[in-house]
Structure 1
Amino acid sequence: MTSTHGSPAAPTAAPVLEFRDLRVDFRLSGSTVHAVRGVNLSVAAGETLAVVGESGSGKSATALSALRLNPEPPCVYAGGEILLDGRDVLGLSERQLRRVRGAEISMVFQDPMTSLDPLQRVGHQITEVLRLHGDHTRAEARSAALTALDEVGVPDPERRFRQYPHELSGGLRQRVMIASALVARPRVLIADEPTTALDVTVQRQILDLLVRLQHRHGMAVVLITHDLGVVAETADRVAVMRHGEVVETGDVEQVFARPAAPYTRRLLDATPRLEPVA
C-alpha cells in the first residue's frame, strides 16, 4: 500500500469504522475552534490504525467523536459522517448510542483513575457493561467478568473482582479498563494514549496484551498516540494529524521509510534513536 500525502489510504478489507469528511468545532464564547477539519480515516476488522500527532492536532477529538463523547455543547459536529458498518453514528439518538457504546465500539483511556468509579468495586463496573447490553443474569455477568479479568492477565481475578480501583496498581487498573472495554466483545476498540501514565515495563506489557487480544478476537483497533516507537511496533497503518487535518496516511513501514509530508519527516527526525556505543 502506498503512502499518500493529504488523502486517505483505505485498508484492503471493508472498513468496520469509517470517518468521512468529519468536521468538529468547539464553539466558545466569542470564538470557534475548528478542531477537526475534513478528516477521512477507516479501519478494518483485525487491523490496527495508529493516529499520531502533537497535542492539539485533533486526534483525540476525532477518536471521541466515534462514540459522540465530545461534550455537546461546546462541541458541534459541523459536517461529515462516522460510519459503523454503514450506519452514521452522528445520526443516532442517545438511546441508540447507548447500545453502541461498549457493545460495538469500546474505548480505553489514558488514565483509568479518571474513568473507573472510585466508589464501585471493580467487578460491578465490568458486569454493568454486560447488564446494560444484554439479557445476562447476574451469575452470567459475573462469570464473564471473571473470564475477562483472567484474559487480560489480572492475577487472582476473584479477589480483584471485589476490590476498589484505589487498591490496584496503575498497571492493574489499566488491565481492568481493558477487561471492561472488551467484556462485551466490541467490533472496534479505540485506545487513547493507553500507556502514557505507566512505566516503561508496564507499557510494553499492556501493548503486547492489546495486540494479543486483537488477534484473538479480530477487532479493529484505533490507537491514538504521540509515540512513534509504539506505532512502529504495533500498527498496520498510520495517519498523521496536524491542526485538525490528516497530512499523511499509509502503511507504517512505507510512511516511516519514505514520508511524503514535511511534518511527518519532522516528527520522525525528532524521535530519539539509540546509537551504537563506540
Structure 2
Amino acid sequence: MTIDRATNQPTQRPTDERPLLEVSGLSVDFRLQTSVVHAVQDVSFDVRAGETLALVGESGSGKSATALSVLRLNPSPPCLYTGGRILFDGRDLLELSEKELCRIRGRDIAMVFQDPMTCLDPLQRVGAQVAEVLRHHTGMSRAEAAQAALAALEEVGIPDPELRYRQYPHELSGGLRQRVMIATALVGRPRVLIADEPTTALDVTVQRQILDLLVTLQHTHDMGVVLITHDLAVVAETADRVVVMNKGKVVEAGDVLDVFDQPADDYTRTLLAATPRLESA
C-alpha cells in the first residue's frame, strides 16, 4: 500500500510488481585497528517504483551506512561487506566490478547527500557539475549537456538558472545548493533515488520546499525513493513504508500508518514519544 500525497489517501499498488531495489540480509563491518564495528546487521528492505521507503532511527543507528552500502560508497578499508545481497535489475551490486558499478551510480541509482557544501566541488561551477553526469553516462556533447543541465536546474526550481549555472557552490545559499544536488542526482533520470537527510541543515521553510520538490519529482518520474531521516514528522508526511533501525539492526518495518498507529517495538514507541507535538492551550 502507498499513500497518494495529493489526496492523502491510501492506494494499492499491484502486489506482483517487482521491487526496483531489494536489499536482503545486508551486513557491513568497519574493521578498525583495535576493534570491529558491526554497523549494519542482517538488514532487509525493498522499494518499488513511485514508492517512498523511509529508514529512521537515532544518529549512529546504521541508516547512512546502509544507504551508502547500496552504491558501495563506504570507504574500503575499513568497510567490509560480510553478508547479504543488494539486487537491482536482478543483479547483485555487491558482486559487480567497480567499472560496472560506475555505470549504475548516477544513472540508475542516484544519491542526495546530507551536506551539499562538502559534496559539490568548490573549484567547479555548479552547472558544469550537473552536466558532467550526462557527459559521463550518455556521451552528450558539451553543448548538449549544458542545455540539459540548465533544464535540470530550472526543473528543481532554481531561479535564473543561467546565472546559477555559472556560479560556484559558495555563492549559493544552503537551499540553492541542496537544489543543485537534487538536480545533479536527477538529471540522469534514475529509477531509484537515495536521499540521506536531505534537509538537515536547512531552515524549516526551505525544508518544506525541498521535501515538496522531491515528492513532485518522484511522481513526475515514477522513481523509487529511499529517504533516510530521524524526523518522524517528515516520514509521516512523505513516506509510504518505514524501516526503523537501532544499533545497526531493523527493529520494526511496515506501512507508515500501521507502524505509527500501532508500533510493535519499544524502541519505535520511544522514538514516537520523543517527537515534539503542539498541544492546545
Q: Does 1:64 align with 2:61?
A: no
Given the two structures, how large is their TM-score scaled by the length of structure 2? 0.94
Q: Which runs of 5+ in 1 are unaligned?
A: 2-10
Q: Residues 160-218 of structure 1: CA distance to partner in whole angstroms, max 9, x if unpaired?
A: 00100011000000000000000000011000000000000000000000000000000
Q: How does 1:236-275 map to 2 (within 5 A)?
A: 236-275=240-279
Q: 2:51 aligns with which of 47, 50, 54?
A: 47
**Highest relative contact order (Cα 8 Å, sep 6+), 1 or 2?**
1
How far apart, CA to CA, are the structure 1 residues paired with 2:253 and 2:93? 23
Give the letter aligned to residue 202 of structure 2: L
- Range with bigger deviation, 139-148 or 210-219: 139-148
How far apart, CA to CA, are the structure 1 residues paired with 2:181 and 2:215? 16
Q: 1:181 aligns with which of 172, 178, 185?
A: 185
SS of residue in 1 equivalent to 2:152: helix
Give the letter aligned to residue 59 of structure 1: K
Q: 1:123 aligns with which of 106, 127, 149?
A: 127
Q: Which runs of 5+ in 2 are unaligned?
A: 2-13
| 1:39 to partner: Cα distance | 0.4
Give the letter aligned to residue 265 of structure 1: R
Q: 1:113 aligns with which of 101, 117, 121?
A: 117
Aligned position for 1:170: 174
SS of residue in 2 equivalent to 1:133: helix
Percent of residue pairs bearing the same amino acid type: 74
How far apart, CA to CA, are the structure 1 residues paired with 2:35 and 2:177? 38
How far apart, CA to CA, are the structure 1 residues paired with 2:149 and 2:240? 30
Give the letter aligned to residue 240 of structure 1: V
The number of residue pairs the alignment matches comes to 269
Given the two structures, how large is their TM-score scaled by the length of structure 1? 0.95
How far apart, CA to CA, are the structure 2 residues paired with 1:130 and 1:92? 22
Aligned position for 1:6: none
Q: Residues 212-271 of structure 1: CA distance to partner in whole angstroms, max 9, x if unpaired?
A: 000000000000000000000000000000011111111001110000111101110111
| 1:143 to partner: Cα distance | 1.0
Q: 1:224 aligns with which of 220, 224, 228?
A: 228
CA RMSD of aligned residues (A): 1.2
| 1:30 to partner: Cα distance | 2.2
